[in-house]
Amino acid sequence: TRSVPAAPSILRRSRARRGGKRVRFAQVTVYYFARRQGFTCVPSAGGSSLGMAPRHHRARRYSLSQFAHLRQVSHRQHLRQHLRREKLRARRRELTQNGTVPSAEAAGLTLADVSDDDLDVGQVEVGDYFYLQPLPTKRRRALLRASGVRRIDAEERQELRALRLSREQCGCHCRLTCEPRTCACSQAGIQCQ
């Protein structure tokens, strides 16, 4: 029997055609926006969601290496702040015997009481640290006030609570067969879940 030569691969042909054409980026443009109360996201707890102004107030251009360096410095600062907060919490727990005994000394501790020498920044790989962590309501409110937001809309808290509650219930209560008259999915015009 004679072997038939295989047909040339479509994939190989397309790779060969592409040749040396590549997209290369030379710089990064970063746009800076003022903070505003969000009304567009739903934090996991509390109110006062963070948002941004509709227009940027500043733009900066960086080379790729400058931008990579700035991000690394920024990430290290975030990591240092996170470790400082963790160390402060641990000291307060220690002084209050895990929160069971009130302590004036623990209540008086601040982030300034935690020195850089107390932090094990070298033990944590910066790339392993997740930077977009949820912020407690108090910190979100403090960020908004520091950004010049004078009046924080209190109604957003109730709206967010209602949204979180509505998201807890998904689908309908049908079992085995769909009952269109009582099925929430059917009444909403979607397939029964």
Sequence spans of domains, the chain: 27-167
> What pLDDT is stored for residue 16 in this prediction?
53
CB neighbour burial string for 28-47, b if at least 16 within 10 angstroms, e if fewer = eeeeeeebbbbeeeebeebb
Residues in the chain predicted with pLDDT less than 70, given as ranges, are 1-20, 99, 121-132, 193
Query: What CA–CA distances, in Å, run from 168 to 31, 45, 164, 180?
Result: 36, 13, 7, 22
Do 126 and 72 touch, CB atoms closer than 8 A? yes
> What pLDDT is stored for residue 2 in this prediction?
60
Do 61 and 29 touch, CB atoms closer than 8 A? yes
> What pLDDT is stored for residue 57 in this prediction?
94
The whole model's pTM is what?
A: 0.57
> What pLDDT is stored for residue 9 in this prediction?
61
Residue 32: name the closest of 65, 76, 62 by CA: 62
Integer Cα distance of 170 and 6 in angstroms: 52
Integer Cα distance of 20 and 49 in angstroms: 47
> What pLDDT is stored for residue 64 in this prediction?
93
> What pLDDT is stored for residue 58 in this prediction?
96
